[in-house]
Chain A
Amino acid sequence: MMSLFEKPILDNPLITAFAFVGAVIWISNQLAHHLTRGRVAGSAIAVLAGLALAYWGGAITGKSKGLGDIAQFGGLALMGGAMMRDFTIVATASEVHVDEAKKAGWLGFLALVLGTVLPFIVGVGVAYAYGHRDPVTLTTIGAGAITYIVGPITGAAIGASSDVIALSIATGVVKSIMVMVFTPVLARFMRLNNPQAAMVFGGLAGTVSGVSAGLAATDRRLVPYGALVATFHTGFGCLLGPSILFLAVKALFS
């Protein structure tokens, strides 16, 4: 019986991914409804379940794409890859109320600047506390605390070694997963309940994957506002990282 399904599943990875994700979300909604009486959003449980499955997949295969590295679930890598993520984020713009977004454009920019500089300072500070003194290493780890794309791009631009770049990627990945997991938990504390607040959040929390998953698990209607700002985060970080921020670190520590 199972072998009958083996071939269709392996031959149709994307379709399998649709069915699988649907099942995960259905189970998550049931859990949210019956176990937590709707106090925890079904999508928050689904994102957590996804991360848990990713851990399991990574533990089995020893590769980097979580469950996507298991042949039967290969379609998840396509469905959850950058192409589909960005395409569906753009689609959510159809639900944006222009007046709401206009009200907070300048706030979004302020948040973007803070969301780049603050994590960078923390990253540099932690690396310094652990005994690193080389400006290139400090900058690369600091840039990793902005996003896991800014880290390696900055590191490559200023000539960091590959183990430092790997460390900066790990920093970014940890941050992104923290944003995914803790945003719904901290949503009330952050007053994350209106479009302008979502734009501030998108700029400060950075990392598109973290922001998009965190907001999705909090309130779907806030997603486009947060994403609108967050999508500028990586580009902005890559602009500042190897230039102003590196020069500042160099001036301070050498």
Chain B
Amino acid sequence: MVIFGTALLAACYLVGVAVGEGIAALIGVKANVGGVGIAMLLLIAAQHYLQKRGLFPVDTAKGVTFWAMMYIPVVVAMAATQNVIVAAKSGPIALLSAAGAFAICVLFISAINRVIERAHIASAALEPVSDDHDPASDLSVAPDHR
């Protein structure tokens, strides 16, 4: 049943966030430490375990994948509720430190990713896909959307 998948997802989420709170309390930090990341690892492990025992039928999987597919719409809603005014009207300090931080990070990302590409630490580039949830990653190739 679909709800089992969603319930599994919800349980992993709650446990992960709780562990994140625990770590935060333990090291004396006032923010959740990696709770969502831990929840992701839990979900991967739980799914793997259940699949091996044949306890993860298609219907159950649908209860998880629906929410994974809802990710982009949620991100669009998130974008629509950002405080863009503050960002647009912020003074030069905010603008320059944000732009500078982003620019330096982009350079480092580019450098590291070129190195790991050459050293074959990175996997081959993903093939552009053409299903209607995933617009192709390669901007130079015109993807066929349907």
Please report A residues at the B interface, Cβ cutoff 8 Å: 17-18, 21-22, 24-25, 29, 32-33, 37-44, 46-55, 57-59, 62, 64-68, 73, 76-77, 79-81, 84-96, 98, 100, 103-104, 107, 110-111, 114-115, 118-119, 122-123, 125-127, 130, 141-142, 144-146, 149-150, 153, 156-157, 167, 169-180, 182, 184, 186-197, 200-201, 204-206, 208-209, 212-213, 216, 218-224, 227-229, 231-232, 234-236, 238-239
Q: Does residue B71 face the partner (Cβ distance < 8 Å to A)?
A: yes
**30 contacts across the A-B interface (CB closer than 8 A):** A38-B144, A43-B135, A50-B79, A50-B82, A57-B80, A58-B84, A76-B77, A80-B77, A81-B78, A88-B74, A91-B9, A94-B9, A94-B64, A95-B68, A98-B48, A100-B123, A114-B105, A122-B101, A122-B104, A144-B97, A171-B90, A174-B99, A180-B79, A188-B139, A191-B117, A193-B137, A201-B109, A205-B106, A216-B75, A220-B71
Cβ contact within 8 Å between A65 and B83: yes
Taking A85-B74, A141-B97 as contacts, is the C-beta distance between A54 and B31 under 8 angstroms?
no
**CB-defined contacts of B37 to chain A, threshold 8 Å:** 227-229, 231-232
Known contacts A174-B90, A200-B112, A204-B108; A231/B40 CB under 8 A: yes
Whether A171 and B98, one on each chain, are in contact in the complex, defined by CB atoms closer than 8 angstroms, is yes
Taking a contact as CB atoms closer than 8 A, the residue among B24, B44, B91, B122 that contacts A197 in the complex is B122
CB distance from B92 to the nearest CB of A (A): 7
Contacts of A100 in B (CB 8 A): 123
Q: Which 10 A-B pairs have the closest CB atoms?
A: A50-B79, A80-B77, A219-B137, A235-B33, A119-B101, A80-B78, A41-B135, A93-B40, A58-B85, A91-B67
The one of A98, A104, A186, A238 in contact with B106, judged by C-beta atoms closer than 8 angstroms, is: A186
- 15 other contacts beyond A94-B9, A216-B75, with CB at 8 A cut-off? A17-B77, A33-B145, A62-B85, A85-B74, A94-B61, A149-B31, A174-B87, A175-B97, A190-B110, A196-B122, A196-B123, A216-B72, A219-B136, A231-B34, A238-B33
